Amino acid sequence: MQIPTELLAKIDEAISHYPVSKRSASLPLLHLFQEQFGYISDESIAWIADKLGLEQINILELVTFYPMFRREPAGKVHIRVCRTLSCALAGADDLKTKLSEATGIHCSKHHEGFSHPPEVSPDGQFSIESVECLASCGSGPVMMINDDFYEAVAPETIQEILSKYK
């Protein structure tokens, strides 16, 4: 697996924070990999395990435990819609449906379950997933597009917002 030099530097820096047990660097490394590659491949799992002197199953446990880690690539633009109670009451479901229509993503209901890959538009530009609370319950429905935060999203504004990411 090819690891860019800057990433390697960041990895070694992260590991240096845990002189007692390299194992503790597992999560920081997973974040670095997801940032770099957009998801955690099986190859990445093997690489990290090897780097930290662990078994692959030790890393796989973490990747599957935390919902923020993906094992499949997402779209270039990744949309997270909060589905927790206040946002749900404020129309999050409707928002997600409208976003899917606008981005051409076919959103099947069964993908609301556990540990399913995010749904990606046919052109690979957008992906969408429901997430738990984004910590702005008073201004639902709330969503994040990549690292940008949007509150009280009105369905009419969707096209305008998305146009920034096309």
Partner 1 sequence: MSTEATTPKPVELVNVQIDGVWYQFPKGTKVIEACSQAGKFIPRYCYHPRLSTPGNCRMCMVELGMPKMGPDRKPELGPDGKPIHNWIPRPQISCAQEVSEGLGVRTDSKMVQDARKGVLEFLLINHPLDCPICDQAGECRLQEFSYDFGPAKTRFLEHKVKKPKRIQIGPRITLDDERCILCSRCVRFMREVAKDDVIGIVNRGSYSTITCHPNKTLDSNYSLNTVDICPVGALTSTDFRFKMRVWFLKETKSFCTSCATGCNTVIGARENLMYRQTPRENNDVNESWMCDYGRLNFHYLNSPDRLLAPVAKGVNEPDWTAALTATASALKSLPPSEVALIASGKMTNEELFLAAGLTQALGIMLHDIVPHTDAGDDILLSTDRNPNTAGAKLLGLCDANAGSKLPAIADGIRGGTIKGLVILGEDATALGLAESELRKLEVLVTTAMLPNLTTASAGYVLPGSGFAEKRGSMVNKSGRLQRLNRAIQAPGLARDDWEILTGLTEAITGTSLGLATIEDVFKAMSAATPALTGLSLSKIGDLGVQLPIA
Burial of residue 36, with CB atoms counted within 10 A of its CB: 0-12 exposed, 13-18 middle, 19 or more buried: middle
Using the rule CB under 8 A, is 58 a contact of partner 1? yes
Choice between 70 and 90, CB closer to partner 1: 70
Binders of partner 1 among residues 69 to 108 (CB under 8 A) are none
- Specify the residue for token string 């240096």: 16
Each residue 105-144 as x (binds partner 1 by CB under 8 A) or -, in order, gives: ---------xx-----------------------------
Query: How near is the Cβ of 54 to partner 1 at its closest, in Å?
Result: 8
Q: Which two tokens stand for residue 14?
A: 């992260």
Query: How near is the Cβ of 145 to partner 1 at its closest, in Å?
Result: 26
Eight-state DSSP code of residue 115: S
Using the rule CB under 8 A, is 56 a contact of partner 1? yes
User: Which residues partner with 77 through β-bridges?
Assistant: 126
How far apart (Å, rounded) are the C-alpha atoms in residues 90 and 146? 22
Q: Which amino acid is at 156?
A: E
Name the segment binding partner 1 (CB under 8 A); options: 50-58, 95-103, 129-137, 154-162: 50-58
Using the rule CB under 8 A, is 43 a contact of partner 1? no
How far apart (Å, rounded) are the C-alpha atoms in residues 85 and 22? 39
Helix ranges restricted to H, the chain: 5-16, 26-37, 42-52, 56-65, 85-89, 92-103, 158-163
Instruction: Give the interface size with partner 1 as a residue count (CB under 8 A).
Output: 14
Query: How near is the Cβ of 55 to partner 1 at its closest, in Å?
Result: 4
The residues of the shown chain that bind partner 1, judged by CB under 8 A, are 42, 46, 54-58, 60-61, 64-65, 67, 114-115
